[in-house]
Amino acid sequence: MTIKTSLVSLLENLFLRPLEAFFKQDVLILCNNGNRDTLGLLLLYCHLKYRYRLKVQIRPFIFLRDFWLKLFRPTLVINIWIDCPPAVEIAQRIHRLGSIQIISPTEVVAWTGVKNFVNRYEFKEYIDGIMLAGNAMKKLLSKHRNIRPLQARVVGFPTLDWSVPPLNKLFISKKEFLHRFSIPSGKKLLFLASSFSLADVDINHWEEKYSHWTTPKAEAIVMHRVSREMRNITVDHLSLLLDGHPDWHLVVKKHPLEKKGYYESLFGGNNRVTIVNDMDIHDLLSACDILIHWNSTCAVQAWGFRVPTVLLNFKEAKPFLHFQGHELDDFKKGNYIANSYAELRESLEEGLRARSIPPTQFIHRRKYISKWFYAMDGNSAKRAADVVFECISDGQKRAIPYALQMENLTRSLPEFMKYLFFYHTFRTVKTISPLCKTLFAMLPSMYDNFSLELHKKRFEKNIASLLSIVT
């Protein structure tokens, strides 16, 4: 052994081994930062941290995922749904590293139909378990041999815990929303959750840019065209309705895949339209009087808030219906359904009259939620945490066959420091002025990149308090 090798070994024993013990985690949660799972996984994180007292970290999958694995050396990893090549690669790596691997419960897009719903990637050989939102998905994945039945645990969808008390009381009220955006009191707030997700995709490069989507290009071309037509018609209809209803105010949030600036260019001079792309969906559902959508999962979130929902179902959407499965029936009937301009007007007027929801809609909502999301009872994250604790208790003696190395730190630390710089700059800029916030938001996906950190800062203490534990 050379002097250099001996010196390196000595430094590692003096410096890295204590750090290794310090950073070692029981659980590492990887999440798709900015998507609908983020708040649900944050709630799962809090259950594990404050109720079970585990050492747990939650980090974005898209950023430095290898670094988190090697730094934290977790006994158990809660990984994202395996639906794209990078997810397959990291799942295989976790398996090789020796950590217990469980797939997190994710949203269910039942309206895509069975052939697109079933996962095209094989992962049952290198996962230890999978948490699913509902029994319908367990049956599908078992039937198509994507999983072994014993691997699956149905827990519900933790994000839906935020739609019911007590968590849904943590979001802003209508009064606060009106004040923040200088909207006159007495206005009825119509929330358009823009779900025209394929309207602005680069359809000419579908296979290269959207390889994680299971939709074949031929179908994507039709959906792209229909999405654009539906968006144009929706905007035209809502503009006319605003003209005829002076007590209505439209609130719009674009879909993450839609181009920035589209709605601003249409409504920029209209003081009866507020565009809120960087607000959390729950704040909008808490503040608004009615939701307008086109086959969006956020309608299910709205049901927990007891918000009336209007489903856009114009004749222009008929080609899109060809790709839908029968699973959508109860989902559809849980809404007011607008097949035309006249029905859209009638649905909005009826829904706004007293925020009334017909009993038949409640019946179909319960059936749909029971099938695909188990229950909207506020306990999905608790059930998921129970599964994780059970798995980690059974696997505590599993050795993690790799050690923290200096190379892991030196290679990724500069990138991590840059990330922290941008995050704290973003937080500061958000509080300075609307202009600074707007300029900074022009950076690509900046809000989504930091949504996990912003949610943690905003909600973690509240959740800990609700779990009856002092932080």
The CATH number linked to 346 is: 3.40.50.2000
**Same structural domain, 186 and 43:** no
**Same structural domain, 349 and 408:** no
359-398 residue pLDDT tens: 999 999 999 999 999 999 999 999 999 999 999 887 655 6
Instruction: Please state, in angstroms and rounded to a whole number, the distance separating the CA atoms of residues 114 and 139.
Output: 11
Instruction: Please state, in angstroms and rounded to a whole number, the distance separating the CA atoms of residues 319 and 337.
Output: 17
200-214 residue pLDDT tens: 899 998 888 887 677
Question: Does 466 have pLDDT greater than 60?
Answer: yes
Q: Do 10 and 17 meet the contact criterion of CB atoms below 8 Å apart? A: no
Question: In this structure, what token pair is assigned to residue 431?
Answer: 């509080």
Q: What pLDDT is stored for residue 401 in this prediction? A: 59
Domain end, chosen from 373, 392, 421, is at 373
pLDDT bracket for residue 328 (50, 70, 90): confident
**Same structural domain, 134 and 173:** no
Question: In this structure, what token pair is assigned to residue 330?
Answer: 């109860």
pLDDT bracket for residue 82 (50, 70, 90): confident
Question: Does 323 have pLDDT greater than 50?
Answer: no
218, part of any domain: yes
**Same structural domain, 171 and 147:** no
Q: Which residue has the higher pLDDT, 18 or 196?
A: 196
CATH label of the domain that carries residue 96: 3.40.50.10350
Instruction: Please state, in angstroms and rounded to a whole number, the distance separating the CA atoms of residues 304 and 310.
Output: 15
455, part of any domain: yes
51, part of any domain: yes
**Same structural domain, 411 and 334:** no
**Same structural domain, 254 and 347:** yes
pTM of the predicted protein model: 0.89
**Same structural domain, 393 and 308:** no
1, part of any domain: no
Domain end, chosen from 373, 400, 431, is at 373
Domains of the chain: total: 2
Q: Which residue has the higher pLDDT, 17 or 65?
A: 65
Question: Does 446 have pLDDT greater than 80?
Answer: no
Angle (CA) 367 370 374, round 5°: 170
240, part of any domain: yes
Question: Does 57 have pLDDT greater than 70?
Answer: yes
296, part of any domain: yes
Checking phi first, is residue 297 left (phi over 0); if not, alpha (psi -120 to 50) or beta? Answer: alpha
Domain end, chosen from 336, 357, 373, is at 373
Residue span of the structural domain in which 88 resides: 9-161+377-466
2, part of any domain: no
Amino acid found at 194: S
Most confident residue range from 104-108, 276-280, 314-318, 416-420: 276-280
- Average of per-residue pLDDT across 172-193: 96
98, part of any domain: yes
Poorest-confidence range of 79-88, 117-126, 129-138, 398-407? Answer: 398-407
- Average of per-residue pLDDT across 434-448: 49
**Same structural domain, 328 and 403:** no
**Same structural domain, 213 and 255:** yes
**Same structural domain, 16 and 156:** yes
Q: In this prediction, what percent of the chain has a pLDDT beyond 90?
A: 46
- Does the CA dihedral 369-372-375-380 come out positive or negative? negative
Q: What pLDDT is stored for residue 122 in this prediction? A: 74
pLDDT bracket for residue 230 (50, 70, 90): very high
Q: What pLDDT is stored for residue 156 in this prediction? A: 96
Question: Does 354 have pLDDT greater than 80?
Answer: no
Q: Which residue has the higher pLDDT, 447 or 13?
A: 13
Instruction: Please state, in angstroms and rounded to a whole number, the distance separating the CA atoms of residues 385 and 381.
Output: 6
Q: What rounded mean pLDDT belongs to the chain? A: 84
What does the radius of gyration of the chain's CA atoms come to, in whole angstroms? 24
Poorest-confidence range of 191-195, 246-250, 253-257, 283-287? Answer: 253-257
- Does the CA dihedral 355-358-362-364 come out positive or negative? negative
**Same structural domain, 138 and 204:** no
| DSSP character at residue 311 | E
Helix (H) or strand (E) holding 244: helix 217-244
**Same structural domain, 257 and 243:** yes
